[in-house]
Amino acid sequence: MSRAAICSGLDELLEEAGKINPEGSLNLNDSIVSAIYGKAEEIAEGVVTSRGKPPVDWDKKLDDIFTSRVFGFPSMLLLLAVVFWITVAGANVPSEMLATGLFWIQGQLTELLIWLDAPAWVNGFFVEGIYRCLAWVVSVMLPPMAIFFPCFTLLEDMGYLPRIAFNLDNFFKKAGAHGKQSLTMSTGFGCNAAGVIACRIIESPRERLIAMLTNNFVPCNGRFPTLIALAGLLVMGTTTFLGSALIVVGIVVFGIVTTLAVSWLLSKTLLKGVPSSFTLELPPYRKPQVGRIITRSIFDRTLFVLRRAVFVAMPAGAVVWLSANIHIGGVSILTYCANWLNPFGQLLGMDGYILMAFVLGLPANEIVVPILIMSYMATGSMLELDSLETLRQLFASHGWTWLTAVCMMLFSLLHYPCGTTLWTISKESGSLKWTVLAALIPLIIAITVCFAVARLASLLGWV
C-alpha cells in the first residue's frame, strides 16, 4: 500500500473518531486507562499475597486527606501558609544581623579608601554602588532562601508534591493544558528558569509551550523578598507575621488562578488543541532524608540562586549608581527617566521610580527593591535600612499608600520574566517569537490588572 493511501486512510479514521468523540468529550483516554488499572487491580487481588502487612495503611489514610475533594485544597493552602509563616517570621532577625555585618564592612571599605586618598567617585562607584547593592541582595535574599528551600524540599522529599499535581490535574485539563504543568509550576516557585527547563517532562509540544509561557505567574524566589517586604508594610502595626504570610499566600493563589486563565486563553487561541491525558502514580510517603534535603536545598538551590543574584547585582549596582549620579541639565538620568514614566506609573497605582526599578531589575527580580531604594535617595546611593519601619518611612515620604504596595505586589507577580528565564525560554523553544510573547503576555496582563485595581480603588474612594 502506498504512503498516500495510508495517510488518506488514517485521515478518514481520525475523522470518524472525531464524529464519535467530538473534542474529546467522551474522555476515551481516561476510560481506557481506568479500565486497564481496574483490571490490573482485580488480577493483583486474586494472585498477590502480602506477609506482614501493617495493620494501618498510613499512605491511604494520608491520601484520604491530602487528595480528597473536601480537604485537599484547604490542606494544601494551610501547608503553604505554614511554610511562608516560618519563612517570614524566621528570616527577619538573621536579615538584620547580616545587614549589620555587611554594612559594617562597607564602612571599613570607605575608611580604607579615604586612607588611600582615593577620589570620591571611586568610593561612590565601587562601595556605594556595587558593594551596597550586593550587600542588600545578600542580606535580604539569603535568610528567606535558607528557610524556604529546606521547607519546600522537605515536602518534596516526603512525596507531597505529586499530591499537589493530582489535586490540580483536573483544573489544568479544563484549561486545555497538561496535568504535569502543576509539577513545572511547583519547580517555578524556586526559580522560573528551572521551571521552564522542567517543562521538558511534558511530551506534547503545544502543552509544553503553554507551560513555559505561564510559568512566570508563580512567584520565584527572587520575587519573594519583594512580596514579603510589601506584605509586611501592609500589615505593619495591625497584626503579626501570620498576616504577612496570609497575604503572600493570597498572591500565590492569584498567580495560580492567572496561570489557569492564561493557559485556557492560549489553548483557545494561539495554541489550539485537545489536551492529552496522563497517568500519575502517586509515590508512597517517605521518611525525610536530612542529608539529601540539606544538599538539595542549600547547595543545589539556595547557593545556586544566590550566586546568580550576586553576579547580576554587581553590574546592576554599577549601572544604577551611574544613572543616579550622571546629570544632564542638572537632573540625573534615573530621575529624568522616572519623571518621563511617572504619568503612566500613576495610572497603574505606582510611580515612575517603581517602573524604572522594574526596568533596571530585568536581569534579576531580587534587585528591584534595592534599586527603588537607591532611586528614592537624592544622594544617588542606597539608604542603610535596618528595619521594616525605616523602609515604610522612606516609602511614605514618597507618597506611598496601601494601594501603591498592592499594585507593586501585583506588578511584581505578573510582569515579564527575568533575563535568565527569558534566555532559558529562548533556548528551550528555539523561537524568538515565543520568547517575545513570553515577555509581552505577562507585561500586558500586569498593566491591565494594575490599571483596573487602581481605577477601581479611585472610583470607590478608597484612596
pLDDT tens per residue across span 260-270: 999 999 998 98
CA distance 315 to 133: 9
Cite the DSSP H helix spans in 117-221: 120-122, 132-157, 161-174, 181-190, 192-198, 205-214
Task: Identify the pLDDT of residue 307.
Answer: 75
Element (H, E) at 424: helix 419-429
Mean pLDDT by 10 residues, the chain (463 residues): 59 65 60 79 80 73 86 86 78 80 89 91 87 78 78 84 82 83 79 82 88 91 81 69 80 92 91 71 82 77 72 78 83 89 95 92 79 74 64 87 94 90 88 94 96 94 82
Classify burial at 57, counting beta carbons within 10 Å of its beta carbon; exposed 0-12, middle 13-18, buried 19 or more: exposed
Contacts of 161 (CB under 8 A, 6+ apart): 155, 183, 186
Cα–Cα dist 209/433, whole Å: 12
C-alpha atoms less than 13 angstroms from C-alpha of 89 in its C-beta half-sphere: 13
Q: Total domain count for the chain?
A: 1
Measure the N-to-C terminal CA separation of the chain; round to a whole number of Å.
Answer: 75
Task: In whole angstroms, give the CA distance from residue 238 to residue 261.
Answer: 33
Q: Could you tell me if residue 47 is inside a domain? A: no
Cα 350-353-356 angle, rounded to 5 deg: 105
CA distances in angstroms from 418 to 8, 126, 247, 445, listed in the order given? 47, 25, 23, 16
Residue 427's pLDDT is 86
Evaluate whether residue 56 is within a structural domain. no
Query: What is the rounded CA–CA span in Å between residue 242 and residue 12?
Result: 60
Assess if residue 38 is contained within a domain. Answer: no
At 71, is the secondary structure helix, strand, or coil? coil
On whether residue 4 sits in a domain, the answer given is no
> Rounded to whole angstroms, what are the CA distances from 437 to 97, 129, 177, 422?
42, 33, 18, 10
Is 338 in contact with 352 (CB distance < 8 Å)? yes
DSSP state of 56: S
Amino acid at 102: L
CA distance 170 to 276: 12
Domain containing 241 equals 72-274+289-460
Examine residue 247 and state whether it is found in any structural domain, yes or no: yes
CA distance 349 to 453: 8
212 grid coordinates = 513555559
328 DSSP β-pair partners: 331
CA distances from 325 to 20, 101, 352 (A): 70, 27, 18
- 206 part of a folded domain: yes
Question: Which residues on neighbouring strands pair with residue 332, listed in sequence order?
Answer: 327
**Placement of cell 475533594 in the chain:** 69
The model's pTM: 0.77
Q: Give a yes or no: residue 64 inside a domain.
A: no
Q: What is the pLDDT of residue 442?
A: 95
177, 234 contact by CB (below 8 A): no
Q: Is residue 227 situated within a structural domain?
A: yes
**CB 209, CB 395: distance < 8 Å:** no
Predicted local distance difference test score (pLDDT) of residue 136: 75
